[in-house]
Amino acid sequence: MTRPRRGERVSLTIDDLAFGGEGVGRADGYVVFVPGGIPGDRVRVRLEQARSRFGRGVIEAVEAPSPDRVEAPCPYFGRCGGCRLQHVAYPAQLAFKAKQVADVLERLGEITGFELRPIIGAPETYGYRNKMEFTVARTSHHLPVIGLHEADRYDSVLDIDRCLLQSNGMNAVLAETRRFLVEQGLSVYDQESGEGLLRFLMLREGRRTAEIMANVVTAAPAVSELAPLSERLRSQVPGTSSVVMNVNPKKASVALGVEEHLLGGKDHVREQIGGLTFQISANSFFQTNTVQAERLFELALEAAELGGAETVFDLYAGTGAISLLLARRCRWVYGIELAQAAVDDAGRNAAVNGIDNCTFLAGEVRVVLPSLIQQGIQADVVVADPPRAGFHPKALHALVRLAPSRIVYVSCNPATLARDLGELVRGGYRVRWVQPVDMFPHTPHIEAVARLDKSS
């Protein structure tokens, strides 16, 4: 095999998609990753990287398109780092995601003898997100822009007029907020100098209630400067029910504040899932696709197989959505969640729905779970919905020590799911089934629910 050089042009056929959505092809056996390539494409690429084992190329021409290639409807596609698979027909997206779950469970987790269920597709492939986070940046003329980062770049922000993944109401709030910020001439935060005010705009919407929250994240308190935004949004976009400001004075580029100011309306939006009503504040975690979240939770309930007398631990509980749905079918639920704001929301959500058999605890699972075990509190069933990084090793060790009869693992990252399931299998569990769920059409992200039983 002759390794091509950087700058060289080669023709190849894309035969697979890698994690992250890049096409994978081979030039005389040499592996080339091709952003924008999809299986079945015959493409001519120019190599931008040519390492010893693989290269990366940019498409100069699609010589023969894949039958699964479609026209992406978003004008920002290819530049925006968000939807990397809009040019792939949706059935092909689902097949790609199902294959990736199967591959990673077998290759990384070395898991065999389980049922891999057919992937559940989304009924809405656009307008499905109930939360969007936009970065505020400035142009060379020092005017604020509100948008999303360019693909693979954190130093450049695209000014997004309209995002196809959010509702018309959220797009209206985005447009009106942009107009307000430009008119007011407010400064934009500079990451290097630490000077300036505006950092992020985070939008939330209750899809079943049509309530919209605008959360402006700033580097310093600016109540008087931003207070008029509330009246303007609530008059121009009728669904706006909450306008808040979160202050993040730290260098960390995150849309979480150390203090929150209510500028107008309520400090939360409401959502309805499974016959329950949830209050969601600015800094709380809630599943980003309401319709698919309901299906995901139904799967978790099915997998928990509750008879009414069980004690259940809900790890990484967020605002208590899964906890409260479980609580209607078991004796008691202990929900563990790191964010105090989410724990507060979970307590309010329990009260609003008349549920009194839940205890919510704030803290890291790796700390709180061993503490519960030490207190002699046992669980018959554990449901876990960890972040993308999966379980902390100490939390996983504590879970094995707890030894519940059933574990339901809700995952947003197949790689860490495979890793953790492998550890649980070595700890005495058997994987019965895994169900992939597409929560985020047009992106490479994949959710899955796994059911595990304690081996006899």
Q: How far is CA 451 from the centre of its chain?
A: 21
Instruction: Tell whether the model's pLDDT for residue 303 goes beyond 90.
Output: yes
Q: What percent of the chain has pLDDT over 70?
A: 99
- For CA atoms 270, 301, 452, 310, the dihedral sign is positive
- Of 3.40.50.300, 3.40.50.960, 2.40.50.140, 3.30.200.20, which CATH number belongs to 9-64? 2.40.50.140
Q: In 3-state terms, what secondary structure has residue 54?
A: strand
What integer pLDDT is reported at residue 163 of this predicted model? 97
Instruction: Tell whether the model's pLDDT for residue 203 goes beyond 70.
Output: yes
- The pLDDT tens digits for 204-254 are 999 999 999 999 999 999 999 999 999 999 999 999 999 999 999 998 888
pLDDT band per the 50, 70, 90 thresholds, residue 138: confident
pTM: 0.91
Residues 80, 83, 330, 412: which is the catalytic one?
Answer: 412
Scored b (16 or more CB within 10 A) or e, 419-445 reads: bbbbbbbebebebeebbbbbbbbbbbb
Q: What is d(CA 429, CA 246) in angstroms, rounded to the nearest whole number?
A: 43
Q: For the structural domain made of 131-269, what CATH number should be given?
A: 2.40.50.1070
What integer pLDDT is reported at residue 257 of this predicted model? 85
Residue matched to tokens 């704030």 = 362
Instruction: Tell whether the model's pLDDT for residue 82 goes beyond 90.
Output: no
Q: What is the DSSP letter of 43?
A: E
Instruction: Tell whether the model's pLDDT for residue 1 goes beyond 80.
Output: no
What integer pLDDT is reported at residue 406 of this predicted model? 98
Is 26 in contact with 15 (CB distance < 8 Å)? yes
Half-sphere exposure of 94 (CA within 13 A, CB side): 16
Is 319 in contact with 338 (CB distance < 8 Å)? no
Same fold, 9-64 and 131-269: yes
Average pLDDT over residues 47-62: 93
Q: Which helix (H) or strand (E) holds 261?
A: strand 259-265
CATH T-level fold of 93-123+289-454: Rossmann fold (3.40.50)
Contacts of 310 (CB under 8 A, 6+ apart): 330, 331, 379, 380, 381
Q: What is d(CA 331, CA 350) in angstroms, rounded to the nearest whole number?
A: 15
What integer pLDDT is reported at residue 200 of this predicted model? 96
What integer pLDDT is reported at residue 129 of this predicted model? 97
pLDDT band per the 50, 70, 90 thresholds, residue 456: confident
What integer pLDDT is reported at residue 252 of this predicted model? 81
Q: What is d(CA 290, CA 270) in angstroms, rounded to the nearest whole number?
A: 12
- The pLDDT tens digits for 62-79 are 999 999 999 999 999 989
Most confident of 15-19, 182-186, 283-287, 432-436: 432-436
Instruction: Tell whether the model's pLDDT for residue 183 goes beyond 90.
Output: yes
358 annotated active-site: no
Query: Chain-wide mean pLDDT for the chain?
Result: 94
Q: What percent of the chain has pLDDT over 90?
A: 86
pLDDT band per the 50, 70, 90 thresholds, residue 140: low
Average pLDDT over residues 276-298: 93
Is 203 in contact with 170 (CB distance < 8 Å)? yes
Q: In 3-state terms, what secondary structure has residue 247?
A: strand
- The pLDDT tens digits for 311-336 are 999 999 999 999 999 999 999 999 99
- The pLDDT tens digits for 354-391 are 999 999 999 999 999 999 999 999 999 999 999 999 99
Instruction: Tell whether the model's pLDDT for residue 142 goes beyond 80.
Output: no
Query: In the numeric block, which tokens belong to residue 100?
Result: 């990736």
- The pLDDT tens digits for 429-448 are 999 999 999 999 999 999 99
User: What are the structural domain ranges in the chain?
Assistant: 9-64, 93-123+289-454, 131-269
Higher-pLDDT residue of 284 and 129 is: 129
Window from 190-194, 196-200, 387-391 with minimum mean pLDDT = 190-194
